[in-house]
Structure 1
Amino acid sequence: MDPLFLAYSYFRRRKFKESVDICTKILAKNPYDQAAWLLKTRALTSQVYVDEVEVDEEGIAELLLDDNVIANVARPGTSLRKPDTTHEGPSQAVRPTSQGGRPLSGFVRPGTQSGRPGTVEQALRTPRTAHTARPVTSASGRFVRLGTASMLSNPDGPFINIARLNLNKYAARSNLAKGLFEYIFHHENDVRNALELAALATEASQFNDWYWKVALAKCYYRLGMYRDAEKQLRSSLKTDEVIDAYLYLAKVYCRLDQPLAAIEVYQQALNQFPGETALLIGIARIHEVLDFVFIEYHRLQKE
């Protein structure tokens, strides 16, 4: 059996380690085999891939050091930080509640029911070892750990020496650039080089590829540049309407503490993709965080 076909078969069956081993043997014989190189890149990425739309934990550092909130004293029902608890709604005694006082519904965002770091001092004393200028938070710390684990899993060092790559050459080759971007972004956790590759690829595609605009938004979001991420996602939706762009845009608005804007984005997406589960769950999670304040808000708007 052809080794490359067998490696691809392992990859389709999510046996990524076996696929990587076969690709390594192929590349040992022929280092210029692009098919094996790309397949190994995708397999290594799939081993550590995390769906960033789903996993968005907010630790104590995000809550205390967040400087992206629009208003310090928000109107009731317009902020994720201070949900309204004075409206008339379902009785809290009817359903069990979490430690934060919200009823359990099954549509809780990841991280909202987990334990918080011990003290404020621990968050403030955390060294700035992430890839941003901000203190290490629950999100950035997870990305650092993933990158470190991926490096230790390969005793011979990294598969690709990113520092020696000619990003301009790879950006012009769309068949290799996307796999390389995913590897740099997810496996190596090198956001700055991933951002440079995405910017070069966007220019090479004459700004007509929605994928690279979303890729730029991912990098901007990871770096804390939420307004730049919003611009790229809006531009991506003008090029082509895809669910990922809507989900990322709603995620940006949630981080900017604009739940009403996030709900509006979800509603626009539902017009294009009726009944999409990810969009409905996104709306349900925002309702959960706001303690069902939107039910009362929309009822008042109709009246």
Structure 2
Amino acid sequence: MRTALSKFYSRDFLECIDICSSIMDHGSSDEAIWVLKMRALTEQAILDKDVMETKISDSIFKNECKSGLNDSSTLGLRASSGRVNLMKPSSSFERPQTGVLRNKTSAKVSGSIERVIRSGRVFRTGTLTGRSGTTAVTRGRSTAICPGGDGEFIHVARLNLIKYAKRPEIAKCLFEYLYYVADDMKSALNLSNLVAQKQEIQEDSVSKEPKDHRMMLNRPDPWWKLNRAKCFLRLGLLHEAESECNEAIRLQPHIDIFVLLGLIALRSDQPLRAIKVYDDGLKYFPNDIELMTCKAQIYEDLNDLHTSVALYKEIVKQDPGDFEALASVGAFYFHDEQPEMAITFYRRILQLGFRSAELFNNLGLCAFYGQEIDTGLGYMNEALKTCMERNSADVYFNVAHIFLGLGNISEAEQALRITLAYDSNYSEAYTNLGVLAEQRGDVESARIFYECAIRQIPDAFEPNHNLALLTYRLGDLQTSYQLANKTLTVFPNNTNMLKLLKELEHYFKST
């Protein structure tokens, strides 16, 4: 028992689970061993699970089934300042900006269920997700290590929730197991409802006690209110989740409650209300890094980059070791054409002991654009050494970009083809191969590459733009006209497409 506890407190959860399983296999019915194993399984699941992540079904429903009603909280919202990207628009179908280290928002969901099925891989990002596994893998591993009668540690359907609801020392542990490991929202919510009923009965009995004695008794636990709100959020009951959060704030304000309230507002597509929630939380907890980070992320998603970066800089002042703030400020300076400033923030992350292919990739790009070519190539070599299969395509794509900058076209084309070997759905690689083929006069290959890029991401700007111009030069005016209109729906103010459309309309009217 002591060895298992030591492993648990040293966060060696798998070893702790093995020891507890061994003790239980020898016929021990000690309840403490059962609870310890349950806690270890829960902590192991929490490590690999982002419980607030948006499910693909929720995202598809949100994108495909808009109600058509304008949200008053987002009307008239514009970035107060900042450089406008005149070359191409930014959309949810493009890869995220390089260098953003974020757990909860690093994954982008494609816009239609057909594309999800066709591509076979919904999420692709050049950023670090911060997690190496999934909850399903974790649960499968835990079940294999700790088999019960039929392979399960706890038979949820056989649990007597009324019995455990009367025992607060076990009820919270069991709730977290149901929520994180078993992923059984219904049972977790039923357990919390039983605890809430028990608390209501206690409140009724307390109200009959004398005032002096009433003040000495415990108030309702806000922990249950917060976790009931999490259950409601996972079930999509946003109004009920918000009510529970407001009740929890009344009992005892806490940072996690304000974070959850902000997430509820974001799920309701009300980013300004989420910002107000975080501002209210900062009144209770001034300069709290988590609330400031959530607020900065919303401003970044709203394209108010200067406000977002100002918040990230404030976070860096409060905590010089905050990876996300450092990476976000570095990404801002990189895209603002200040690679010399960006590289200082990325080097700070490297000095803190963090090493990854994404970080070396960003350092290489910053050094290259800062005219430190040898240093940049060294960083890219480190990126190639540390990359894995899931991010090799992104690294080779950026290596190709550096070769293009150096004028080494053949090496750039080879790197792009290696990119496609790792990820055959990489739209940007097809687009760049099309540009290279068009430059050497191979218009048929260029057209094929552009069409492949469009098949991967139909609303992407660059392949539609390039193919519209190419088909115009080849004399396929009808296709060029359709592609020009499609491109203008993505980027209405593009000068090339407006000029091309005007010429095509003039030609069609004259014939």
Whether these two folds match at TM > 0.5 is yes
Letter paired with 1:180: L
- Aligned residues of 2:255 and 2:281 also touching (Cα < 8 A): yes
Does the CA contact (< 8 Å) of 1:45 and 1:183 recur in 2?
yes
* Alignment match, 2:303: 291
CA contact (8 A) 1:144 1:189 kept: no
2:103 is the counterpart of 1:91: no
Q: Which residue of 2 aligns with 1:268?
A: 280
Does the CA-based 8 Å contact 2:166-2:198 persist in structure 1?
yes
- Aligned-residue identity in percent: 32
CA distance, structure 2, for counterparts of residue 97 and residue 154 of structure 1: 51
CA contact (8 A) 2:60 2:112 kept: no
Measure, in 2, the Cα distance between the counterparts of 1:273 and 1:195: 29
Match of 1:168 in 2: 162
Once the two structures are superposed, the pairs formed by residues 1-303 of structure 1 within 5 Å of their partners are 4-29=1-26, 31-49=28-46, 55-57=52-54, 59=56, 61-66=57-62, 72-75=69-72, 78=74, 84=77, 87-92=79-84, 100=92, 104=97, 110=103, 112-114=105-107, 116-117=109-110, 119-121=112-114, 147=139, 150-152=142-144, 154-156=146-148, 157-206=151-200, 208-292=220-304
> One-letter code of the match for 1:116?
V
Greater RCO, 1 or 2 (C-alpha within 8 Å, sep 6+): 1
SS in 2 for 1:291: coil
Deviation at 1:144, TM superposition (A): 6.1
**Number of the residue aligned with 2:393:** none
Could you report, residue by residue, the CA deviation over 1:245-267 in whole angstroms, capped at 9, with x for unpaired residues? 11111111110112122111111
- Answer yes or no: is the 8 Å Cα contact 1:172–1:204 preserved in 2: yes
Please say if residues 178 and 184 of structure 2, whose CA atoms lie closer than 8 Å, have aligned partners that are also in contact: yes
Distance of 1:199 and 1:118 partners within structure 2? 37
Structure ID, larger Rg: 2
Residue deviations 1:223-256, cap 9 Å, x none?
1111111111111111111111111111111101
- Letter paired with 1:183: Y
Q: 1:163 to 1:53 in 2, by over 3 A?
A: closer
Is the contact between residue 181 and residue 197 of structure 1 (CA under 8 Å) also seen in structure 2? Answer: yes
> Does structure 2 conserve the Cα–Cα contact (< 8 Å) formed by 1:143 and 1:189?
no
Question: 2:164, 2:173 → 1: CA distance?
Answer: 10
Contact kept, 8 Å, 1:147 with 1:187, in 2: the verdict is: yes
Letter in 2 for 1:91: R
Letter paired with 2:62: D
Q: Is the 8 A contact 1:48 1:146 kept in 2?
A: yes
State the alpha-carbon separation in 2 of the partners of residues 14 and 104 from structure 1. 34
Q: Partner amino acid for 2:191? A: L
When normalised by structure 2's length, the TM-score is: 0.46
In structure 2, distance between residues paired with 1:6 and 1:272: 41
Q: What is the rounded CA distance, in whole Å, between the counterparts of 2:104 and 2:224 in structure 1? A: 29
Given that 1:150 and 1:187 are in contact with CA atoms closer than 8 Å, whether structure 2 keeps it comes out as no
User: Quick one: which amino acid aligns to residue 260 of structure 2?
Assistant: Y
State the Cα deviation string for residues 170-197 of structure 1 (Å, max 9, x = none). Answer: 0110000000111111111111001101
The 3 A distance-change label for structure 1 pair 144 and 5 is closer
Verify the 8 A CA contact 1:23 1:40 in the aligned structure 2: yes
What residue ranges of structure 2 are gaps of 5+ in the alignment? 119-133, 204-219, 308-511
Structure with the higher helix share, 1 or 2: 2
Q: How many residues align?
A: 270
For residues 225 and 238 of structure 1, what CA distance do their matches in structure 2 show?
21
Distance in 2 (CA, whole Å) between partners of 1:54 and 1:171 is 23
The answer to whether the Cα contact below 8 Å between 1:198 and 1:212 also exists between their aligned partners in 2 is yes
Shift of 1:52: 7.2
Distance 1:30 1:44, change over 3 A: same
Q: How far apart in 1 are the matches of 2:268 and 2:280? A: 19
Deviation of 1:29 (Å): 4.3
Report the secondary structure of 1:49's partner residue. helix
Distance (Å, rounded) in 2 between the aligned partners of 1:283 and 1:192: 31
Task: Please list the CA deviations of residues 52-73 of structure 1 after superposition, one character each: whole Å capped at 9, or x if unmatched.
Answer: 77852464x4344139978732
Are the structure 2 counterparts of residues 196 and 288 from structure 1 closer, same or farther at C-alpha, using a change threshold of 3 Å? Answer: same
**CA RMSD in angstroms, aligned pairs only:** 3.7
Given the two structures, how large is their TM-score scaled by the length of structure 1?
Answer: 0.75
- Do the aligned residues in 1 keep the contact of 2:79 with 2:302 (CA within 8 Å)? no
CA contact (8 A) 2:48 2:138 kept: no
Q: Give the conservation status (yes or no) of the 8 Å contact 1:107–1:284.
A: no
Q: Deviations over 1:199-245 (max 9, x none)?
A: 11122233711111111111111111111111111111111111111
Cα shift at 1:124 = 8.7
